[in-house]
């Protein structure tokens, strides 16, 4: 049986268990964002068909599966398992009823300031 919890509960529980080591969720989240920056950088270095080409009118929604591993330095390190181009968003929609509205606003209307979005490009 898999226990499901909302993000706020997970973050609170994580911080209670790991904050004393300086491994708060915000630290782990930054490592995850860095991993995604590197992923998309590597995926776009080469021109097609070896890489993802530049197209200003192109939009996509990806999902990523990852795990958190305790490394040899006793730090939590994200590990990428896979990236999906056509993700199943049932759980996202169940816990966030406006999920697709927010995705649409970000991808097609450039309404980033009004959404719960983190810019990981910098």
Q: How many CB atoms lie within 10 A of CB 76?
A: 17
Q: Residue 76 and residue 69: Cα distance in Å, rounded?
A: 5
119 closest CA partner among 108, 106, 109 = 106
Long-range pairs for 40-49: beta carbons < 8 A, 24 or more residues apart: none
Burial of 109 (0-12, 13-18, 19+ CB in 10 A): exposed
* Full pLDDT tens readout for the chain, 122 residues: 788 888 899 999 999 998 888 899 999 999 999 999 999 999 999 999 999 998 989 899 999 999 999 999 889 999 999 999 889 999 899 988 999 999 999 999 988 876 678 888 87
Please, are residues 67 and 78 in contact by the beta-carbon 8 Å criterion? yes
pTM (two decimals): 0.86
Please, are residues 7 and 15 in contact by the beta-carbon 8 Å criterion? no
């Amino acid at each position: 049986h898999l226990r499901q919890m909302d993000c706020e509960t997970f973050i609170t529980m994580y911080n209670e268990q790991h904050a004393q080591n300086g491994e708060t969720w915000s630290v782990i989240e930054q490592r995850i964002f860095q991993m995604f920056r590197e992923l998309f950088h590597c995926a776009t270095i080469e021109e097609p068909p070896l890489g993802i080409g530049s197209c200003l009118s192109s939009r996509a929604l990806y999902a990523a599966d990852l795990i958190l591993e305790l490394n040899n330095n006793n730090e939590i390190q994200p590990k990428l398992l896979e990236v999906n181009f056509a993700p199943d968003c049932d759980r996202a929609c169940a816990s966030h009823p406006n999920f697709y509205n927010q995705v649409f606003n970000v991808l097609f209307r450039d309404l980033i300031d009004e959404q719960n979005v983190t810019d990981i490009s910098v």
